[in-house]
Amino acid sequence: MHELAITQSVVDTILERTENARVTAVHLVIGKVSGVVPDAVRFCFELVAAGSPVEGARLDIEEPAGRARCRACAAEFACDGLVVLCPCGSAEIDVLGGDELLIRSVEVE
């Protein structure tokens, strides 16, 4: 779905930041509650990178787990999605982590 647009942004950003150097590996961070599906990005990556200096690069995706804090009782807990309840029963939570969508680094020749 939106992963094609997301992957296009990834490749465009890399091309800008690396001044079109030959890229051999790309390290992304896609959190478990980011709303982006890593497998879909993998599928799109080959397509989007074709014909650019990123073509053929290895794609490593780090998938940090979700972390949330309850606004009612301040407890922190792990979550795999956004449909979460604090053990105290409150649905009022702030997502502390796992929503990242980052280009961590690239390897260039």
Task: HSE, CB side, 13 Å, CA atoms: give it for residue 18.
Answer: 22
Q: Is 74 in the site for other proteins (CB under 8 A)?
A: no
Alpha-carbon distance of 77 to 65, in angstroms, equals 11
Is 44 annotated as contributing to ligand binding? Answer: no
CB of 4 to other proteins, least distance (A): 5
Please report whether residue 36 would count as binding other proteins according to CB under 8 A.
Answer: yes
The answer to whether the CB of 86 falls within 8 A of the CB of 70 is yes
Q: Is 44 near other proteins (CB under 8 A)?
A: yes
Do residues 69 and 58 touch, judged by C-beta distance below 8 A?
no
56 contacts other proteins (rule: CB under 8 A): no
**Binding-site residues from annotation for Ni(2+):** 2
**Binding-site residues from annotation for Zn(2+):** 70, 73, 86, 88
